[in-house]
Amino acid sequence: MDFQLSKEHEMARSLFRDFAEKEVKPHAIDVDETEVFPRETVSKMQKYGFMGIAIPKEYGGQGCDPLTYVMCVEELAKVCGTTAVIVSAHSSLCADPIMMYGTEEQKQKYLVPLAKGEKLGAFGLTEPGAGTDAQGVQTRAVLDGDSYVLNGSKCFITNGKEADIYIIIAYTDLQVDAKGRKKKIFSAFIVEKDTPGFTFGTKENKMGIRGSSTYELIFQDCRIPKENLLGGEGNGFKIAMHTLDGGRIGIAAQALGIAEGALERTVAYVKERQQFGRSIAQFQNTQFQLANMKVQVEAAQMLVYKAAMAKATQSKYSVEAAEAKLFAAEVAMDVTTKAVQLHGGYGYIREYEVERMMRDAKITEIYEGTSEVQRMVISGDMLK
Amino acid sequence: MKVVVCVKQVPDTKGGVKFKPDGTLDRAGMLAIMNPDDKAGLEAALRLKDQYGAEVTVVTMGLPKAEAVLREAFAMGADKGILVTDRVLGGADTWATSTTIAGALRNLDYDLIITGRQAIDGDTAQVGPQISEHLGIPVISYAEDLKIEGDSVVVKRQYDDRYHMVKAKMPCLVTALSELNEPRYMTPGGIFDAFKKEVTVWGRADLKDVKDSDIGMKGSPTQIAKASDRVKKGAGEKVTPDSPAEAVDYIVGKLAEKNVI
């Protein structure tokens, strides 16, 4: 077992860190305050291949492994949770399932521009009545001639109005089992922006990751060409779950980065902040808190990197992804809360940024499967 | 078109400079980076590659670990990398460094050689111009802009209170300022490819037309008595004498006051 990163990974990390410090960090406060999607940053990330890190080169990507991708999300999240989730949702939730389940034509048409960052991706599963409970999905697709007719709505969609290509999960069949219970059969579709019948509803006013564009998607008799069915009819649930396994690794990396960013700032702050004639770093309470935070962050990093390695080498990595996300998200919430506390009154002031990190951290315990769902996945595997 | 860029691996001074008890730089205690002026020179070369399809070769002299700057240059888009390393080259001052690098460059075809203005660990700005002297080609220093016109290079050369437009026929050498451009980032895929590329390693035996007395510690006329962190210059004094004669008197008086003359 080797805990040493390769020279390539070390250099990739220095690239992501350098980019995040110079190009992302200066805008983080503003992005949060104004809720404006950081389009210019996304264009820069596109230029340097950050939008297709783990996609093979033949499809316009960088051909790197999931660990490199995870380090990118982590370093971005250290300085800006919004920017990190834009990359994560685009890569893990849209490009990845097309890479995994798309036909060659679909890959050429949709994956190549996504991997090159020319197009931005999003994923829609959640609905007002369906989050953790996928059977609650009301969006329906009915085959009519050469196209599926989509009706329904999706909510809380990351990259919402900014994306160009969407993976939408809808039910295409309703089956009744031997006990008379109804079961929806789902399919996944690739939907382009500007398709007639596809519009946007309200923009969500969020607690954190405020620069990410979170919208409601509305489909009214929206006709999707038959060739945009992803992975065959009836495979939507499997595709969605597999996609979320990958997505959870991205969110785990985001949570890890947020925790690391808050810890870095706290270490710098406690050395400067004077109380009772000395820096607060000299108080044992501060030292013990910092030690606890450091151990939490390192343990989270191990789980996140382990999950990334599992994605690179295993066909199934649901448990590793769930463990990484559950732990990293809870660490992010705990570490950012402690960071605010160690900052005292200043921690409550926006300029000091740990306040934003605490707000950004909360969502990592909720989206792409709540912490409770992760516990279900982990224990379900233990008890099967 | 063939462009050779000389780069140096230097300690990152961003987080402060660390010294060993004997007064020399504690290189192991500081992160190593590509010298910023050299990186601007590399970016200028890569833009010539983008524009004219120039072949970009990067040369560095240093310890084996200096290979890292060549990998970084590959990841930014450089085509070839040469590491000049040998125990006998250690302890070189600017003279011995420039004779060594010139000896390496004599093996190469080039239209343009770009070096950084100066390295942040020595701040001498001597190596670039010295290389051009050894190779017998023109040098234009302090480039803040650079373009190709036919078989010549046209450089906007920075000066204290103005700039000069200088044109030189190639082959020639240009020293680059960080202000020349904003160097591109590496790409993630470029990094992984960079480690698959071969770095050419040259030692003493590969240097062309170089005397043993001109290399390494023995070939270095400079003796470093003490190194220190950069001393900040004062704000200076501005005077407006009424005539040139008065100005001369003032300056001579000041020099005498400070025992310079």
Report B:190-249 residues touching A (Cβ under 8 A).
190-192, 194-195
Between A and B, how many CB-CB pairs are < 8 A? 49
B238 domain residue, yes or no: no
pLDDT, one tens digit per residue, over A12-30 is 999 999 999 999 999 999 9
pLDDT of B131 higher than 70 = yes
What is the total count of domains within chain B? 1
B151 domain residue, yes or no: yes
CA–CA gap between residue B131 and residue B27 (Å, rounded): 25
Provide, as residue numbers in chain B, all residues whose Cβ is less than 8 Å from the Cβ of A12: 188, 191-192
pLDDT, one tens digit per residue, over A123-179 is 999 999 887 787 889 999 999 999 999 999 999 999 999 999 999 999 999 999 889
More confident residue, B218 or B122: B218
Please give the helix or strand (H or E) that residue B154 lies within, else none.
strand B152-158
Count of other CB atoms within 10 angstroms of residue A379: 12
- The whole-chain average pLDDT of chain B stands at 90
Q: How far does the CA of residue B154 sit from the closest CA of chain A (Å)?
A: 29
Beta-strand pair A140-144/A274-275 = unpaired
CATH number of the domain bearing residue B105: 3.40.50.620
Count of other CB atoms within 10 angstroms of residue B23: 11
In 3D, which of B93, B75, B73 has the Cα closest to residue B187?
A: B75
Please give the helix or strand (H or E) that residue B82 lies within, else none.
strand B80-84
In 3D, which of A256, A235, A239 has the Cα closest to residue A123?
A: A239
B226 domain residue, yes or no: no
Within chain A, what is the greatest distance between any pair of CA atoms? 79
Length of chain B: 261
Q: Which residue of B has its CA nearest to A49?
A: B187
Q: How confident is the model at residue B12 (pLDDT cuts 50, 70, 90)?
A: confident
CA–CA gap between residue B200 and residue B240 (Å, rounded): 57
Would you call the peptide bond into A113 cis, given omega within 30 degrees of 0 as the criterion?
A: no
In this complex, do A7 and B71 lie within 8 Å of one another by their Cβ atoms? yes
CA distances from A158 to A94, A123, A130, A211, A368 (A): 11, 7, 16, 10, 11
In this complex, do A19 and B188 lie within 8 Å of one another by their Cβ atoms? no
pLDDT at residue A1, as a whole number: 75
Provide, as residue numbers in chain A, all residues whose Cβ is less than 8 Å from the Cβ of B192: 8, 12, 62-64, 68
In this complex, do B191 and A8 lie within 8 Å of one another by their Cβ atoms? yes
B256 domain residue, yes or no: no
Compute φ and ψ for B156, nearest 5 degrees. Answer: -90, 110
Contact yes or no for B120/B10 (Cβ under 8 A): yes
pLDDT, one tens digit per residue, over B81-97 is 999 999 999 888 889 89
pLDDT of B225 higher than 90 = no
CA–CA gap between residue A174 and residue B180 (Å, rounded): 65
Contact yes or no for A256/A302 (Cβ under 8 A): no
Average pLDDT over residues B119-146: 90
Count of other CB atoms within 10 angstroms of residue A81: 32
Quote the pTM value. Answer: 0.90
Length of chain A: 384
Check the CA dihedral B196-A304-A22-A95 and report its sign.
Answer: positive
CA–CA gap between residue A68 and residue A88 (Å, rounded): 13
In 3D, which of A197, A206, A227 has the Cα closest to residue A366?
A: A206
The boundaries of the domain holding residue B21 are 2-214
Provide, as residue numbers in chain B, all residues whose Cβ is less than 8 Å from the Cβ of A68: 188, 192
Nearby residues of B104 by Cβ (< 8 Å), 6 or more positions away? B59, B61, B82, B84, B202, B206, B207, B208
Helices B36-52 and B67-76: crossing angle in degrees, nearest 10, is 40
CA–CA gap between residue A72 and residue A78 (Å, rounded): 10
Q: Which residues of chain A have pLDDT under 50?
A: none
B251 domain residue, yes or no: no
B243 domain residue, yes or no: no
Report A:349-378 residues touching B (Cβ under 8 A).
none
pLDDT at residue A32, as a whole number: 97
Q: Which residue of A has its CA nearest to B189?
A: A62
| Residue A368: active-site member | yes
- Confirm or reject contact between B148 and chain A (CB < 8 A): no
Share of chain B above pLDDT 70, in %: 95
In this complex, do B189 and A48 lie within 8 Å of one another by their Cβ atoms? no
Nearby residues of A155 by Cβ (< 8 Å), 6 or more positions away? A126, A127, A128, A201, A216, A217
Cα-Cα end-to-end distance for chain A: 28
In this complex, do A11 and B185 lie within 8 Å of one another by their Cβ atoms? no
B252 domain residue, yes or no: no
- Confirm or reject contact between B39 and chain A (CB < 8 A): no
Burial A160-175 (b: 16+ CB within 10 A, else e): bbbbbbbbbbbbbeee
- Confirm or reject contact between B159 and chain A (CB < 8 A): no
Nearby residues of A2 by Cβ (< 8 Å), 6 or more positions away? none
pLDDT of B123 higher than 80 = no
**And the tokens for A164?**
């160009």
CA–CA gap between residue A242 and residue A52 (Å, rounded): 19
pLDDT of B124 higher than 90 = no
In 3D, which of B38, B124, B92, B40 has the Cα closest to residue B207?
A: B92
Q: How confident is the model at residue B23 (pLDDT cuts 50, 70, 90)?
A: low
- Confirm or reject contact between B52 and chain A (CB < 8 A): no
- Confirm or reject contact between B189 and chain A (CB < 8 A): yes
pLDDT at residue A88, as a whole number: 98
- Confirm or reject contact between A268 and chain B (CB < 8 A): no
B77 domain residue, yes or no: yes
Name the catalytic one among A264, A351, A368, A372.
Answer: A368
The conformation of residue A111, written as its DSSP 8-state character, comes to: I
- Confirm or reject contact between A48 and chain B (CB < 8 A): yes
Q: How far does the CA of residue A64 sit from the closest CA of chain B (Å)?
A: 6
In this complex, do A11 and B187 lie within 8 Å of one another by their Cβ atoms? no
Q: How far does the CA of residue B213 sit from the closest CA of chain A (Å)?
A: 37
Q: How confident is the model at residue B259 (pLDDT cuts 50, 70, 90)?
A: confident
In this complex, do A8 and B72 lie within 8 Å of one another by their Cβ atoms? no
